[in-house]
Amino acid sequence: MIASAYSDELATLAALLRASTVAVRGRRGSGAGSGVIWSSDGTIVTNAHVLRERGVDVELADGRVFPAHIEARDVERDLAKLRIEATGLPAATIRDPKDLRVGELLVAMGNPHGIQGALTLGIAHATRGSRFVTADIRLAPGNSGGPLADVQGRVVGVNSMVANGDLAIAVPSDVVQRFLGLTAPTPLLGIRYAPVRMRERVALAVLGVEPQSRAAAAGLIVGDLILEVDGRPIRGEARLVSARALLIERGGKPQTIAVPPASLANAA
């Protein structure tokens, strides 16, 4: 039973990460790697070294292919920003890696050797060196540009290279945020959660609620299951940052609760 539950949790985690991971390919066959949907409006982050030509295409997990415009490229940080003409994409949830602990379980998602949406599992080897997050995770050609994430599916870095033959080297997510001109990752609702699968869909099990957070003001409690955000199924980031209403299950009964804006929650 324990092994089965563990397998189900990994499968659910893989589905969440796969939705926000893309394949990046050069149109003339040069370069192939992965990317992360950083925002739902079509912003994709990948490695600079993945882009070996100006013309690149991005393939989403659902099979749709879009031509991508290269908006920014930083060889030193090995980062590139792509833009595709699409909206409503399942953006990744971003975690600041500063609180990442050595030994914490991490996963990498990508397209190694052309196998789309492959998941590998390991642990945090060093939370921050001078520039990178390192993890004891096996990567292969095609993983470059894909997400390194915790077991809640929150991205802590963008996989960049392999060191000493067995250590994954990732550009930290806060470095990516600065590259994109964004601030530090925004706290979601003030909850700790874990993805779970129930009745053929993904839900978020609430494991902890921060005092004076939007979640606390909304009345969320440990044990609640978040089924929908603003009337939509849980997908990737699940729009938790801008959530105004949550469909939850508590004690086996569904109910909808309103989520106040951050300003009102802080004033409470």
Q: Is the pLDDT of residue 108 over 90?
A: yes
Residue 186 lies in a domain: no
Last residue of a domain, one of 59, 83, 107: 83
Asked if residue 248 has pLDDT above 70, the reply is: yes
Those residues with Cβ within 8 angstroms of residue 178's Cβ, 6 or more apart along the chain or in another chain: none
- pLDDT at position 235 is 64
Q: 145 with 196, same domain?
A: no
Query: Both 51 and 101 in a single domain?
Result: no
- Please report whether residue 79 resides in a domain: yes
pLDDT of 29 higher than 60? yes
| 155 lies in the same domain as 218 | no
> Are both 73 and 19 inside the same structural domain?
yes
Query: Within a domain: residue 88?
Result: no
Q: What is the DSSP letter of 267?
A: H
The verdict on 124 and 52 lying in the same domain is: no
In a domain, 250, yes or no: yes
Q: Do 79 and 123 share a domain, yes or no?
A: no
Exactly one of 20, 34, 144, 173 is catalytic; name it. Answer: 144
Tell me which residue range forms the domain holding 77. Answer: 2-83
**Active-site annotation holds for 78:** yes
- Could you tell me the pTM of the whole model? 0.70
First vs last C-alpha separation in the chain: 43
Give the integer Cα–Cα distance in Å for 113 and 215.
42
Catalytic member of 20, 78, 125, 150: 78
Say whether both 263 and 215 belong to one domain. yes
Catalytic residue among 39, 41, 49, 136: 49
CATH of the domain at 145: 2.40.10.10
Question: pLDDT digits over 126-170, tens only?
Answer: 765 557 899 999 888 889 999 999 998 999 999 998 877 778 899
Q: What percent of the chain has pLDDT over 90?
A: 47
224 is catalytic: no
Give the chain's domain count.
3
Establish if 142 belongs to a structural domain: yes
**Measured between alpha carbons, how far is residue 54 from residues 72, 103, 105, 209 in Å?**
12, 39, 36, 46
Determine the Cα–Cα distance for residues 265 and 176; give it in Å rounded to an integer: 29
Any catalytic annotation for residue 125?
no
- How confident is the model over 46-76, as pLDDT tens digits? 999 999 878 899 999 999 999 999 999 999 8
Q: Could you write out the DSSP letters of every residue in 106-120?
A: EEEEE-GGG-TTEEE
CATH of the domain at 243: 2.30.42.10
Helix (H/G/I), strand (E/B), else coil: 33: strand
Q: Are 98 and 170 in the same domain?
A: yes
* Domain boundary residue, one of 33, 60, 83: 83
Position 131 scores a pLDDT of 74
Residues 46, 105 within the same domain? no
- On whether residue 184 sits in a domain, the answer given is no
- Answer yes or no: do 207 and 253 share one domain: yes
Q: In this structure, are 164 and 126 located in the same domain?
A: yes
CA distance 168 to 143: 10
Task: Tell me the pLDDT tens digit for each residue of 203-241.
Answer: 888 888 888 788 988 999 999 999 998 888 876 555 677
User: Does 238 share its domain with 259?
Assistant: yes
